[in-house]
Amino acid sequence: MVVEDVAGGDVPVAAVGSTGVRALEPLLVATHDGESAFVTNADVSDVEAAVSSLSDGGLPDGADARVSHGDAPTSLPAPDLDGFAGDRAALARCGWIDPRDPEAYDAAVGFSDADADAVLDAAADLHGRGWGDWSQDEPLGGLWAGVRERDDPAVVVVNAHGNPGDALLLEGDPFAVLDGANAAARAVGADAVFVYASEGDEAAAASARAAADAGDFDVPVEVVEGPAVYRAAEPTMAIEAIEGNHRLEARLRPPGPEVEGVYGDPTVVHTARTYAHLVGALAGASSDSRVVSVTGDVETPTTVELGEAATVADAVDAAGVGEYTAACVGGKFGGLTRDLDVALAPDALSANDLGTEGVVEVLGADECPVAFVGRRANVASETNCGRCVPCREGTTQLTEKLRDVYDGTYDEAGIEELSRVMASTSICAFGRDVPRTVRTAMDEFDDAFEAHAAGDCPTGACTGEL
């Protein structure tokens, strides 16, 4: 890490987490007298020059951007640099405060001491974010009130598995996530908080553990890691992992986790994004923004936060994407579309058969959409949990039908019927969402499916078997 090689002397130098705009990192921010200077892709010499300038009472020359602000900003002053777009709320402090220091968070935000009723009021209209959230796109208030009325002690789960935005929050602003979870614990009468992260997000898990050890929370906080596979983010599989089960399978429902969750106790499961937005709601801030991660055929994956009126195109533009074939909107099994002029509000995304996971995967100019959905169906057939027949057998049949396209048989009606059965009878979002990727691709690229069945790939990308 760059700052570990620099002695700051009288100038405090701190290593902070990522801003989400990783193409600019290491990002150096030098702050003095109501102004901050930003130096992108900084190295040790840049930090040494900044320390020298600050020691002399100034800011470094040659910065890539400068922002004037108040004397003691509590969040990152957003610079005019590619990758920064919109007003950051949940991500406000990522890349600004020391994620290891509870006093830094306390000075910037202040740990919440709102009582249970105040937390319930703040959460009443807050909607859950992401497919790892048991209240995805639904308000938290009613579910929490039901948990609170139960006699058994409750459990709070922070599901930060598999989504870049959730991992970013754990890595860069873990005390906000834990502060929100701790407030939720008061609201529902919980006696434990579990933070669930992917084994593939080592920095996020380490940061969460350090924050759990350093913070002073009402209830014990334990960090648990699960396997780095997509299905492991499903809320009931998260509970299985927390309980130590190695074979992760979706649980039958009802009852849902709010009735029988971790070790049989009533449990609320929300993503790190949801708890970070709860912290804002407790402070009276609006929660109508969305954390969106742009991945796929991009130079560097980027996570931004935009208002719900902004569009998918705005997020893709912020990531510096120019040419593309399409985008898979809404996670691994989101909807495929060429029209990115769709608002990020959940109802707008759903109306266009797109997902609300907060991940946009870009397909580059040379990507074949038929091959893309074929590979995605194959992944689903190989990685589903196997608990329910519609998903276990459906993903296999779906993959076979997509392979048949390459053999000259495009059974459009058969694929549509199989997709309807999977979407309506699978027990969890994994099986329900897989057909969406295929369904939307057939709607958007019907000519390409027909061309493949006739032995031609319009992009020239398909030269072998699926």
3-state secondary structure 148-201: HHCCCCEEEEEECCCCHHHHHHHHHCHHHHHHHHHHHHHHHCEEEEEEEEECCC
Tokens of 216: 């002073």
Least confident of 85-89, 253-257, 426-430: 85-89
Whether residue 465 is predicted with pLDDT greater than 60 in this model: the reply is no
Say which amino acid occupies 433: D
User: 136, exposed or middle or buried, with CB in 10 Å at 0-12, 13-18, 19+?
Assistant: buried
Structure tokens that stand for 227 in this block: 């396997």
Q: For residue 151, what pLDDT is reported? A: 87
Tell me which DSSP letter residue 7 carries: -
Closest C-alpha among 370, 293, 99 to residue 213: 99
Neighbours of 309 (CB within 10 A): 12
Judged against a pLDDT cut of 80, whether residue 279 lies above it is answered with: yes
323-339 average pLDDT score: 97
Residue partners of 296: CB distance under 8 A and separation at least 6: 327, 328, 360, 361, 362, 363, 364
pLDDT for the residue 2? 60
Which pLDDT score is estimated for 7? 62
Residue 3 has pLDDT above 70, yes or no: no
Q: Who's near 201: CB < 8 A, 6+ residues apart?
A: 160, 167, 170, 171, 228
Distance, in Å, from the CA atom of 131 to the CA atom of 114, rounded to the nearest integer, reads 28
The pLDDT, as a whole number, for residue 235 is 98
Does residue 463 contact residue 456 with C-beta atoms inside 8 Å?
A: no
Q: What is the mean pLDDT of residues 49-69?
A: 94
Q: Which of 389, 361, 387, 386 is nearest to 375 (CA)?
A: 361
Can you tell me the distance from the alpha carbon of 132 to that of 241, in angstroms, rounded to the nearest whole number?
A: 13
Across-strand partners of 291? 305
2 vs 22: CA distance, rounded Å: 15
Reported residue count of the chain is: 466
Q: What is the pLDDT of residue 463?
A: 76
What's the mean per-residue pLDDT of the chain? 95
Residue range 343-350: mean pLDDT, rounded? 98
Q: What is the pLDDT of residue 437?
A: 98
pLDDT at 464: 62
CA torsion, ordered 276, 277, 278, 282, to nearest 10 deg: 110
Sign of CA dihedral 431, 437, 438, 440: positive
- pLDDT mean over 402-413: 97
106 vs 98: CA distance, rounded Å: 11
Instruction: Read off the pLDDT band of 5 (50, 70, 90).
Output: low
Instruction: Kindly state the average pLDDT of the residues 381-410.
Output: 97
Q: How far apart are the first and last CA of the chain?
A: 42
Strand 267-271 with 359-363, pairing: unpaired
Average confidence (pLDDT) over 443-466: 89
Cβ–Cβ under 8 Å, residues 107 and 219: no
Sketch the domain layout of the chain as residue ranges: 1-73, 109-283, 291-363, 369-454
**What is the pLDDT, as a whole number, of residue 1?**
55
pTM: 0.96
**Residue 414 pLDDT exceeds 70:** yes
Q: Which two tokens stand for residue 432?
A: 């329900």
3-class secondary-structure state, position 361: strand
Q: Averaged over 4-31, what is the pLDDT?
A: 87
- The confidence score (pLDDT) of residue 42 equals 96
Q: How far apart are CA 452 and CA 201, in angstroms?
A: 38
Across 267-280, average pLDDT:
98
Q: How far is residue 373's CA from residue 368's CA, in Å, rounded to a whole number?
A: 9
pLDDT at 4 over 70: no
Determine what percent of the chain is predicted with pLDDT higher than 70: 97
Name, in order, each residue with C-beta under 8 angstroms of 99's C-beta and a sequence gap of 6 or more: 16, 17, 171, 172, 173, 174, 175, 207, 210, 211
Peptide bond into 102 cis (omega under 30): no
> How much is the average pLDDT of 199-227?
97
**What pLDDT is recorded for position 213?**
97
User: How is residue 369 written in tokens?
Assistant: 């959409």
Backbone angles phi, psi at 422, to 5 degrees: -60, -45
Give the pair of three-digit tokens for residue 83: 């990758």
Structure tokens at 455: 């032995």
Eight-state DSSP code of residue 4:
G
CB atoms closer than 10 angstroms to residue 43: 12
How many whole angstroms separate alpha carbon 109 and alpha carbon 112? 8
Residue 71 confidence class, pLDDT cut points 50, 70, 90: confident
Give the CA distances from residue 280 to residues 5, 283, 425, in Å, rounded to whole numbers and listed in that order.
Answer: 35, 5, 37
Helix or strand run (H / E) with residue 222: strand 221-226
Selected from 1.10.3720.10, 1.20.1260.10, 3.40.50.1110, 1.20.1440.230, the CATH number assigned to the domain covering 369-454 reads 1.20.1440.230
If you classify domain 109-283 with CATH, what class do you get? Answer: alpha beta
Mean pLDDT value across residues 116-142: 96
Residue 6: pLDDT band (50, 70, 90) is low
pLDDT band at 124 (very low <50, low <70, confident <90, very high): very high
User: What architecture (CATH level 2) is domain 291-363?
Assistant: Roll (3.10)
